[in-house]
Amino acid sequence: MPAEQLTVQDLSESELLARIFPRLNHSPGVLLGPGDDAALIAAPDGRTLISIDTQTQDQDFRLDWNNGYQTSGYDVGWKAAAQNLSDINAMGGSATSLVVSLTMPPVTPVEWVEAFADGLTAAIIALGAPDCSVAGGDLGRGRELAVTVAVVGTLDGLAPVLRSGAKPGDTIAVAGTLGRAAAGWALLESDIRMDSLSSELRGLVESQCRPVPPLAAGPAAARVGATAMLDISDGLLRDASRLAGASDVVLDFDPVALKVHALPLEPAAARLGVDAMPWVLGGGEDHGLLATFPAGIQLPQGFTAIGSVQAVVEPPGSGVRIAGQAADTVGWDHFAD
């Protein structure tokens, strides 16, 4: 019989915080960290970006997946950080701090919470945001696990890159991967046991549980004059439709370029007996970037061209085309907004 596991109800809030704080990194932009009623963060250019995002158990992640994988605290911490860092990246900014609210059932193991803190820190470092740290937070009880992160960031004097600036003639480009997290989700939900997966297919599961948004790409895009940008969080076509609507343009994707993204997903698709392309077009949790650039400029490192922006000449529908055909007439209408 294993030793009784320590759970959060066995500790006071200050005891639990004492286990969390040493696991967090520290950055000089946090002028005043945890311990007072609010933290104080440097905002060197006199402005601060802010975004907020919640992940709730059984809505945004499962603790126990069909294929036997168990989501760890580390996974949840990593993903919470990654999602939020991506929102700042998508504006062309760099994150300076996170504040984290963690709501937990009283029976949550203390080890889970420690792994959660480790996952937050690991993501911040591994994704390339070491100047960002956790500046504060809130712990509370609930019937289900829920994590809310608010992130603040700096544009370092640049203008924010909005969704609304794409112009006809612009080049459409993406940074980061497309469809890997969706393929990972399909594997997690399948009957193929986790321990029977190849390391390549396990990598897809990792993309779902610990996504790797391309954090250098956002500020690089802003510096070269990207005209519009967003984080692909709900799927390429759906997010493209939002950008098209905000910019009043049509985004026309190149099927050959799309195919390049589907190719590495073929082994997983074959294993599951499905088509890889819907993952590329509909999967969002890789947290790549979709951006538009003036035609002819050299795309910043990490971006590859994937289509072109066109003027609206007829009722635009979703505003998204593939090789000139409305995306919702080529079989993927359930991905359109």
Question: Contact positions toward its own copies, by CB under 8 A?
Answer: 14, 31-32, 35-44, 46-54, 56, 58-60, 86-88, 90-91, 93, 97, 99-101, 103, 135-138, 140-144, 146, 148, 150-153, 155, 160, 162-163, 230-231, 246, 337
Rounded-to-integer distance, Cα 81 and Cα 73, Å: 12
Q: How far is the CB of 105 from its own copies (least distance, A)?
A: 11
Check whether 328 is labelled as a binding-site residue: no
Based on CB atoms, which residue is closest to its own copies, 224 or 246?
246
Based on CB atoms, which residue is closest to its own copies, 56 or 66?
56
Sheet holding 94-104, edge to edge: 133-141, 94-104, 146-154
CA dist list (Å): 164 to 160, 202, 243, 336 = 11, 37, 6, 18
Q: How far is the CB of 182 from its own copies (least distance, A)?
A: 19
Based on CB atoms, which residue is closest to its own copies, 36 or 191?
36
The terminus-to-terminus CA distance of the chain in angstroms comes to 52
Q: How far is the CB of 329 from its own copies (least distance, A)?
A: 22
Rounded-to-integer distance, Cα 110 and Cα 15, Å: 11
161 φ, ψ to 5°? -90, 115
Check whether 206 is labelled as a binding-site residue: no
Based on CB atoms, which residue is closest to its own copies, 251 or 262?
251
Nearest to 307 by CA among 227, 251, 236: 251
The H-or-E segment that residue 242 falls in is helix 236-247
Based on CB atoms, which residue is closest to its own copies, 197 or 228?
228
Check whether 252 is labelled as a binding-site residue: no
DSSP string, 211-236: ----TTHHHHHHHHT-SEEEEESS-H
Q: How far is the CB of 94 from its own copies (least distance, A)?
A: 12
Rounded-to-integer distance, Cα 33 and Cα 42, Å: 11
Which value, to the nearest 10 degrees, does the dihedral of the CA atoms of residues 311, 172, 167, 287 take?
110
Check whether 337 is labelled as a binding-site residue: no
Check whether 279 is labelled as a binding-site residue: no
Based on CB atoms, which residue is closest to its own copies, 49 or 258?
49
Residue 172, strand partner residues: 292, 307
Check whether 156 is labelled as a binding-site residue: no
Residue positions in the annotated binding site for substrate?
60, 285, 332
Residue positions in the annotated binding site?
37, 51, 53, 60, 87, 137-138, 163, 231, 233-234, 285, 332
Residue positions in the annotated binding site for ATP?
137-138, 163, 233
Residue positions in the annotated binding site for Mg(2+)?
37, 51, 53, 87, 138, 231, 234
